Amino acid sequence: MADPKLSADRPLSPHLQIYRWPITMTMSILHRVTGGALYFGTLLLAWWLLSAAAGAQAFAWMQWFIGSPIGLLVLFGYTWALMHHMLGGIRHFVWDLGHGLGPGDRDRLARYNLIGSIVLTILIWIIGIWALGGSN
């Protein structure tokens, strides 16, 4: 049997209650998730194009779906995933050039990735709504 005095001096393994994920790890996971989301979003884009080729009724249904609250939420999420994945790719390119590899720099670039993707998504949607003359 193990000596209780020896086991009290051993370090505990990190677990979810005490382990804090680094921002770079979180952004790495999000980069993979957004890559998968872009795959399914591109299937949605292909479905939209196929509905345009299938006829007026199929295209009208697809336009209705895209204009519905759920469709707009999916499009907003697709836009964010695209922006996040793009900025993550730029971040990795900067790292490949040998810049931003210090601990503070890595975290800062990861935060800029997240903030930039949110800001760009909102700007794209504001410009898109403005260009279309407001929501219908």
Domain boundaries, the chain: 24-131
Alpha-carbon gap, residue 48 to 45, rounded angstroms: 5
CATH number of 24-131: 1.20.1300.10
Least confident of 2-11, 14-23, 65-74: 2-11
Q: Angle between the 69-96 and 103-131 helix axes, to the nearest 10 degrees?
A: 140
Give the pLDDT confidence of 38-67 residue by residue, as tens digits. Answer: 999 999 999 999 999 999 999 999 999 999
Q: Would you state the pLDDT for residue 11?
A: 59
What's the rounded Cα separation, in Å, for the pair 92 and 88?
6
pLDDT for 91: 94
Calculate mean pLDDT across residues 80-92: 95
Residue 133's pLDDT band, with cuts at 50, 70 and 90, is: confident
Q: How many CB atoms lie within 10 A of CB 121?
A: 19
